[in-house]
C-alpha cells in the first residue's frame, strides 16, 4: 500500500464514492504516472482523510477508506521571515516533509523580498506535492505574507485557549538551545519563528518576547535563513513524535 502513488484532491471533487478528476490530475495519473483503467492509487483530501481509489476514465472510484498514521500529535506553526531568491520554496518543501501544520511567511525589517501574489499559489502547490511524497494525510496551510508585527498578533490571538509554547530563534546572543527548552509532552500547539538573512532586529526580538515568545538558539554556528527553519522543525518534530 505504501508504494501506491498519492494525489491530493479537493473535498469538492468527491461525490457519492466518486472522485471527479481535474484535467491536471487526469494528465498526471495517465501521462506522468502511466496508470491505466482499473489501476489503483491513494487519494487524500489534505484534511486527514485518505482512500484507496481506482481509475475509471475521467473519474476514480473510492474503494475503501485507509488510515494513515503519519501525523504528529501537536500543531506546529512555523513563522518564517521570507528569505531572498527562491529559498522559501525549499523551506516549504522540507518543513512539509517534516510535519509542519501551518507556515506563516512574514516580512521583517530586514526582508528584501516582497513576493508577488502568484508566489502564494506556487508555495501551496509545493506543500501539496511534498505532503503526497512524504505520505502525510494533511496538507499544511500556507498563509498570506504579512508584516512580522501582524504575524505576531495573529499567532497570539489564536493561542488563548490551548496549552502552547512559542519560540523565536536568534542567531547571536547567549540564549538557551531550543533542544533544552522543548517540553516533551502536554502541549497542543507550538509556534516557532526564524529570521531573515542578517537576523531579526533587536526590536523585533523584544516585541516577540513581549507577547510571550521565548528566545532560543539553534547552536553555536550561524545557520542560513533557509537552513534554520529545517533545523528547528527537525528538533521539534523529533521531540513530539510518539
Q: Give contact residues for a copy of itself (rule: CB under 8 A).
A: 2, 69-70, 90, 93-94, 97-99, 133-136, 172, 177-179, 218-224, 227, 230-231, 234-235, 237-239, 241
> Rounded CA gap, 130 and 138, in Å?
10
Nearer to a copy of itself, 8 or 107 (CB): 8
The CB-of-23 to a copy of itself minimum distance in angstroms stands at 28
Query: Who's near 168: CB < 8 A, 6+ residues apart?
Result: 192, 193, 195, 200, 205, 208, 209, 213, 214, 215, 216
The CB-of-159 to a copy of itself minimum distance in angstroms stands at 25
> Rounded CA gap, 193 and 102, in Å?
12
The CB-of-67 to a copy of itself minimum distance in angstroms stands at 13
Nearer to a copy of itself, 7 or 21 (CB): 7
Q: What is the dihedral of CA 94, 98, 102, 107, to 10 degrees?
A: -40
Nearer to a copy of itself, 155 or 217 (CB): 217
Q: How many helices (H) and strands (E) does the chain have?
A: 7, 13
Nearer to a copy of itself, 44 or 178 (CB): 178
The CB-of-51 to a copy of itself minimum distance in angstroms stands at 19
Q: Is the dihedral of CA 39, 40, 44, 45 positive or negative?
A: positive
Nearer to a copy of itself, 129 or 146 (CB): 129
> What stretches of 99-227 show up as alpha helix (H) in DSSP?
117-133, 148-157, 178-181, 202-210
The CB-of-69 to a copy of itself minimum distance in angstroms stands at 7
Amino acid at each position: 500500500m505504501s508504494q501506491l502513488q498519492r494525489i491530493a484532491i479537493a473535498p469538492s471533487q468527491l461525490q457519492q464514492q466518486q472522485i471527479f478528476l481535474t484535467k491536471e490530475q487526469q494528465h498526471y495519473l495517465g501521462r506522468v504516472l502511466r496508470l491505466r483503467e482499473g489501476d489503483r492509487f491513494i487519494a487524500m483530501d489534505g484534511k486527514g482523510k485518505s482512500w484507496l481509489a481506482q481509475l475509471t476514465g475521467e473519474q476514480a472510484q473510492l474503494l475503501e477508506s485507509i488510515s494513515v498514521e503519519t501525523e504528529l500529535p501537536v500543531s506546529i506553526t512555523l513563522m518564517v521571515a521570507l528569505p531572498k531568491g527562491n529559498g522559501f520554496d525549499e523551506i516549504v518543501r522540507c518543513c512539509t516533509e517534516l510535519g509542519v501544520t501551518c507556515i506563516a511567511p512574514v516580512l521583517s525589517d530586514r526582508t528584501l523580498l516582497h513576493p508577488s501574489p502568484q508566489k502564494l499559489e506556487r508555495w501551496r502547490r509545493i506543500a501539496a506535492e511534498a505532503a503526497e511524497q512524504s505520505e502525510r494525510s494533511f496538507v499544511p496551510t500556507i498563509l498570506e505574507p504579512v508584516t512580522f508585527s501582524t504575524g505576531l498578533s495573529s499567532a497570539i490571538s489564536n493561542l488563548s485557549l490551548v496549552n502552547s509554547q512559542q519560540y523565536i530563534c536568534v542567531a547571536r546572543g547567549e540564549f538557551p538551545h531550543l533542544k533544552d527548552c522543548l517540553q516533551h509532552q502536554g502541549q497542543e500547539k507550538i509556534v516557532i519563528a526564524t529570521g531573515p538573512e542578517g537576523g531579526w532586529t533587536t526590536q523585533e526580538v523584544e516585541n516577540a518576547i513581549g507577547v510571550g515568545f521565548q528566545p532560543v538558539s539553534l547552536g553555536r554556528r550561524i545557520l542560513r535563513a533557509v537552513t534554520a527553519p529545517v533545523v528547528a522543525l527537525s528538533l521539534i518534530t523529533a521531540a513530539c513524535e510518539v
